[in-house]
């Protein structure tokens, strides 16, 4: 049964910041809305999604490496202010 997921297994995604794999539930989905990256915590917004750990360190790495441009297959730069607010919290 190699290469197959077990029934009930949680899907994994890769954080675009630190490049580590984690359970989809542990990562924050991000989509592009206009020229900004916006958080999609419910995972229901349309379009291509990228995933990042909800930590400032991973967000900073993703911005520094221009990972969002590659993940969304689009030229940037993207405004990440709303995303930063969601990661940093109130």
The pLDDT, as a whole number, for residue 51 is 95
Residue 29 lies inside a defined structural domain of this protein: yes
Residue 60 lies inside a defined structural domain of this protein: yes
CATH code of the domain in which 24 resides:
3.30.1230.10
The CA distance from 54 to 47, in Å, is: 20
The pLDDT, as a whole number, for residue 75 is 80
The pLDDT, as a whole number, for residue 43 is 87
| Tens of pLDDT, residues 7-48 | 667 899 999 999 999 999 999 999 998 888 899 989 899 988
Full residue range of the structural domain in which residue 45 is found: 12-88
Query: Please, which residues have CB within 8 angstroms of residue 43's CB and are 6 or more apart in sequence?
Result: 29, 49
Residue 31 lies inside a defined structural domain of this protein: yes
The CA distance from 8 to 90, in Å, is: 34
The CA distance from 90 to 76, in Å, is: 27
| Tens of pLDDT, residues 39-61 | 998 989 998 899 999 999 999 99
> Looking at the 3D structure of the chain, how many domains does it have?
1
């Amino acid at each position: 049964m190699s290469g197959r997921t077990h029934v009930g297994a949680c899907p994994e995604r890769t954080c675009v910041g630190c490049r580590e794999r984690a359970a989809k539930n542990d990562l924050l989905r991000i989509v592009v809305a206009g020229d900004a990256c916006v958080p999609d915590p419910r995972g229901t917004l349309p379009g291509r999604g990228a995933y990042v750990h909800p930590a400032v360190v991973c967000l900073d790495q993703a911005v520094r490496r221009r990972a969002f441009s590659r993940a969304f297959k689009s030229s940037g730069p993207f405004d990440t202010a709303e995303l930063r607010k969601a990661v940093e919290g109130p």
